[in-house]
């Protein structure tokens, strides 16, 4: 079965082609350069860029896969959550394609796509669910931070999420505050790797509360006050690196401890992580170390699949079709605030 998947929920335009659940092509066009000068994603510009890029990216993916539109058996697209204008471009284009080809269409939840991305591996990339174990999944990106209990494939329950900023948003806002280029997460990560995280201690919000929720806006504010009171840190390479390391240590400690605590409470022995922040070297190292010393299995999404991509969207569509879903409505509208809890 040949499936084409489209992802345009934020600032990546991506189209993937899958054959029987194996990725033949996963073309991604990032808009990072476009939004760089504004220091964040500008929704109107993102929509226009998706409009401009979608067809070239689709042609690229179909070309790489050596597949023509007429050969496709189904079309999928991210329906939400995400930026309304950005979602509209991909969803409507994919629905139009399915309509013209008279093939099934499946609208996909973006977080559900992230949720299964740690299970995508091999060459060609495919879902490796034969090694599936019930797990606690951490989804961390620029727009989302959540903990999900995945008891079985397609059976998940949201445990908690951020009450304010997402972890990636915190990385990006702190990076902006200290003058790093957008998107700040990767650059802050690089500098943190050369610094000492023990020099400056920043708050670990909600670390010890009983919930599975997160909060990162207070951490960002405390860095703002710290920089206001110690402007010299921005002038010195050494101190700036220590500051980055201190911020990263705080974010990583909260993410790792709360993830492990949730797993222990639920009695699951497997942790997975996905989303752009899962590229963070401190987070990858810390989860790796804790899971090893405490005997947990760990599946981290491949860095190339951590950030937004259509391959993960296609994988969930493939699972849904394999589970007997025939199609979702071509009249279905975008769902910018769609809660994951409503997907089953
Ligand atoms: O998943 P993603 O591409 O987009 C959203 O759906 O939000 O994630 C992008 C986010 C940005 O906030 C970016 O700064 C962050 O992931 N990020 C990182 C790293 N690489 C990407 N944050 C910390 N360390 C990194 N190495
Ligand atoms: Zn995402």
Which residue's entry shows tokens 């200290």?
178
The 10s digit of each residue's pLDDT in 144-188 is 899 999 999 999 999 999 999 999 999 999 999 999 998 899 999
Taking 90 as the threshold, does the pLDDT of residue 102 lie above it? yes
Structure tokens that stand for 78 in this block: 């991210």
**Whether residue 290 is found in the same domain as residue 324:** no
**CA 287, 275, 114: angle at the middle one, nearest 5?**
110
Ligand with minimal distance to 40 CA: 1
Ligand with minimal distance to 340 CA: 2
Q: What is the pLDDT of residue 223?
A: 96
**Whether residue 164 is found in the same domain as residue 58:** no
Indicate which atom in ligand 1 lies nearest the CA of residue 144: 7
Domain that includes residue 177, residue range: 133-301
Ligand with minimal distance to 174 CA: 1
**Whether residue 267 is found in the same domain as residue 166:** yes
Alpha-carbon span 340 to 81, nearest angstrom: 9
**Whether residue 115 is found in the same domain as residue 209:** no
**Whether residue 55 is found in the same domain as residue 115:** yes
- Pocket test of ligand 1: the residue of 143, 167, 171 to mutate, having most ligand atoms within 8 Å of its CB, is 171
**Whether residue 151 is found in the same domain as residue 278:** yes
Q: Is 305 in the pocket of ligand 1 (CB under 6 A)?
A: no
**Whether residue 293 is found in the same domain as residue 248:** yes
Indicate which atom in ligand 1 lies nearest the CA of residue 189: 24
Q: What is the CATH number of the domain that holds 327?
A: 3.30.420.40
Render 154-213 in DSSP notation, one character per residue.
Answer: TEEEEEEEBSSS-HHHHHHHHHHHTTPPSSHHHHHHHHHTTS-TTSS----TTTTSSSS-
**Whether residue 175 is found in the same domain as residue 292:** yes
Closest CA to 12 of 61, 63, 46: 46
Structure tokens that stand for 278 in this block: 């899962």
Which DSSP symbol is given to 81?
A: S
Q: Is 141 in the pocket of ligand 1 (CB under 6 A)?
A: yes
In percent, how much of the chain has pLDDT > 90?
Answer: 91
Distance from residue 277's CA to the centre of ligand 1 (Å): 4
**Whether residue 316 is found in the same domain as residue 245:** no
Number of separate domains in the chain: 2
**Whether residue 267 is found in the same domain as residue 310:** no
**Whether residue 148 is found in the same domain as residue 50:** no
**Whether residue 114 is found in the same domain as residue 146:** no
pTM for the structure as a whole = 0.95
The 10s digit of each residue's pLDDT in 22-48 is 999 999 999 989 998 888 889 999 999
Q: What is the pLDDT of residue 293?
A: 98
């Amino acid at each position: 079965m040949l499936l084409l998947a489209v992802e345009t929920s934020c600032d990546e335009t991506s189209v993937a082609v899958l054959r029987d659940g194996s990725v033949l092509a996963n073309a991604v066009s990032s808009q990072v350069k476009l939004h760089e000068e504004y220091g964040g994603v500008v929704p109107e510009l993102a929509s226009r860029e998706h409009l401009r890029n979608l067809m070239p990216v689709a042609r690229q993916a179909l070309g790489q896969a050596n597949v023509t539109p007429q050969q496709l058996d189904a079309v999928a697209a991210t329906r939400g959550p995400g930026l309304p204008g950005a979602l509209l471009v991909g969803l409507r284009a994919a629905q139009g394609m399915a309509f013209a080809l008279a093939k099934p269409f499946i609208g996909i939840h973006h977080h559900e796509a992230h949720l299964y991305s740690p299970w995508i591996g091999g060459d060609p990339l495919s879902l490796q669910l034969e090694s599936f174990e019930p797990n606690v999944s951490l989804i961390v990106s620029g727009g989302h931070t959540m903990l999900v209990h995945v008891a079985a494939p397609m059976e998940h329950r949201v445990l908690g999420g951020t009450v304010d900023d997402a972890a990636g948003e915190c990385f990006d806002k702190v990076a902006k505050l200290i003058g790093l280029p957008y998107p700040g997460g990767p650059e802050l990560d690089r500098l943190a790797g050369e610094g000492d995280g023990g020099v400056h201690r920043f708050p670990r919000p909600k670390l010890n509360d009983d919930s599975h929720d997160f909060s990162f806006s207070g951490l960002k504010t405390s860095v703002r006050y710290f920089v206001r009171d110690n402007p010299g840190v921005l002038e010195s390479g050494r101190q700036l690196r220590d500051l980055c390391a201190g911020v990263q240590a705080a974010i990583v400690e909260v993410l790792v401890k709360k993830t492990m605590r949730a797993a222990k409470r639920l009695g699951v022995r497997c942790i997975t992580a996905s989303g752009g922040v899962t590229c963070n070297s401190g987070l990858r190292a810390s989860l790796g170390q804790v899971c090893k010393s405490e005997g947990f299995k760990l599946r981290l999404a491949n860095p190339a699949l951590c950030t937004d991509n259509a391959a993960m969207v296609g994988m969930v569509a493939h699972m849904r079709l394999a589970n007997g879903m025939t199609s979702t409505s071509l009249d279905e509208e975008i769902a910018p605030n769609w809660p994951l809890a409503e997907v089953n």
